[in-house]
Amino acid sequence: MQAERSNASPRPKPHRGAQGNLSIRSPQSGGSSLSEADESSYDRVVDLAEYQRLSRRTAEYPREAWLAYPALGLSGEAGEVAEHAKKAIRDDDGEISDERRTAMAKELGDVLWYVAQLASELGLDLDEIAQTNLDKLLSRQRRGVLSGNGDDR
């Protein structure tokens, strides 16, 4: 049985906070891929810098593996996201069911956690990483070079 694709589910929208920090707004009720229990505990804006800071409280891994552990974890979790995409193509004609969307959201949360830990270990700020990336992409868009190869286009 093929799952129906829901085009009605809202997507989180990036926005600038009071200090200009990049933040992600949680999906609002009505068709969200989050359960009501998840939604009620996520009714506020989460700033990337705040997420990075608070997520460090849960970072437990061997100090001697300060770089390898989060880098390998990131690769593994990104692989799990890719695995869901592959199975959607193979099993569901590329359609994403609500169940798969929820599973992918959880895996993307794990990706975010590892990105935050890796950035912290390297002394980098997620807000700055996000802003620099957006600046780069918008510059490429203005210059008509979004497509192509290489970092310096």
Domains of the chain: residue spans and CATH: 14-136 (1.10.287.1080)
**pLDDT for the residue numbered 41:** 55
**pLDDT for the residue numbered 43:** 59
**pLDDT for the residue numbered 150:** 85
Q: Whose structure tokens read 């193509």?
A: 89
**pLDDT for the residue numbered 114:** 98
How many Å is the Cα radius of gyration of the chain? Answer: 18
Residues of the chain with pLDDT under 50: 1-35, 38-39
**pLDDT for the residue numbered 3:** 38
Instruction: State the amino acid at position 145 in one-letter form.
Output: V
Residue 5's contacts (CB-CB under 8 Å, 6 or more residues apart) are: 95, 96
Model pLDDT for residues 78-113, shown as the tens digit of each residue: 999 999 999 999 999 999 999 999 999 999 999 999
**CB-based contacts of 122-126 (< 8 A; 24+ apart in sequence):** 122/67, 125/49, 125/52, 126/48, 126/49, 126/51, 126/52
Rounded Cα distance, 30 and 104, in Å:
19
Strands 46-47, 14-16: pairing is unpaired
**pLDDT for the residue numbered 91:** 97
Rounded Cα distance, 132 and 130, in Å:
6
